[in-house]
Amino acid sequence: MTKGRRATILVVDDEPAVADMYAEQLRDRYTIETAYSGEAALSKLDSAVDVVLLDRRMPDLSGDEVLSAIREKRYDTRVAMVTAVDPDFDIIEMPFDDYVIKPVSKEDLFQTIEQLRLYADYEERLRECYSLTAKYAALESSKPQSVLDESEEFTELEAELAEVRAELDEITDSFDATDFELLFRDFETGESMPDSTQL
């Protein structure tokens, strides 16, 4: 998620009263979109949506089907299932980021969204760190140290890399083992990312 931008949350529930209640609770802090069906959710989903709060039991397209469509379209968004459906073993293969059982308090919604935004921010910083580290390594291996020492561009690269590493350390200080399991779930079958401790 871009720094400083107000996060966009898509609330999806086939009960308009429930979706509107969540939207009203969240509107002061986030930009809110609502959808009262799976089809409407997919029509409103785009790259600007940071987090989707998704009901499972809907008549046209179920939340499970909407989740699959979101992942197939490879939107860079976090999805929390917010549902009255008790979890069963079928959720093991479902690519959501969090599973929240209704009824849900305002505090639960805020906590869920902020945790998912933190994960997204970590991924963004990690990708940036990986890119900067690759540039640093390429220059360091091909240029004499004396040339690097005199380069203003290389000095700026070093400073930027140090800043991103510090941001990563700050984020990971708040993580526990469960956070890391959830965060790296997508990397097991998708894009390989480095461990920040190796950067």
Per-residue pLDDT of the chain (199 residues; tens, 9 = 90+): 555 678 999 999 999 999 999 999 999 999 999 999 999 999 999 989 999 999 999 998 999 999 999 999 988 899 999 999 888 898 888 989 999 999 999 999 999 999 999 888 898 899 999 999 999 999 999 999 999 999 999 999 999 999 999 999 998 888 776 666 666 655 554 444 444 444 4
Say whether both 12 and 96 belong to one domain.
yes
**pTM reported for the whole predicted model:** 0.75
What does the pLDDT read at residue 197? 42
| Number of structural domains the chain divides into | 2
Domain residues for the domain of 97 are 8-104
With contact defined as beta carbons under 8 Å apart, do 117 and 1 qualify? yes
Domain co-membership, 73 together with 137? no
**Is the previous residue joined to 103 through a cis bond, with omega within 30 degrees of 0?**
yes
Residue 2 lies inside a defined structural domain of this protein = no
For residues 21 and 72, state if they share a domain: yes
Q: Return the CATH number at 89.
A: 3.40.50.2300
Q: Name the one residue in this structure whose structure tokens are 């998708």.
A: 190
Q: Which two tokens stand for residue 130?
A: 């990986």
Q: Which residues contact 83 (CB under 8 A, 6 or more apart)?
A: 54, 55, 56, 57, 63, 99, 100, 101, 102
Instruction: Please indicate, yes or no, if residue 25 is contained in any of the structural domains.
Output: yes
pLDDT (0 to 100) of residue 92: 87
> Can you give the pLDDT at residue 149?
95
Q: Which pLDDT score, from 0 to 100, does residue 164 have?
A: 95
Specify whether 86 is located in the same domain as 154: no
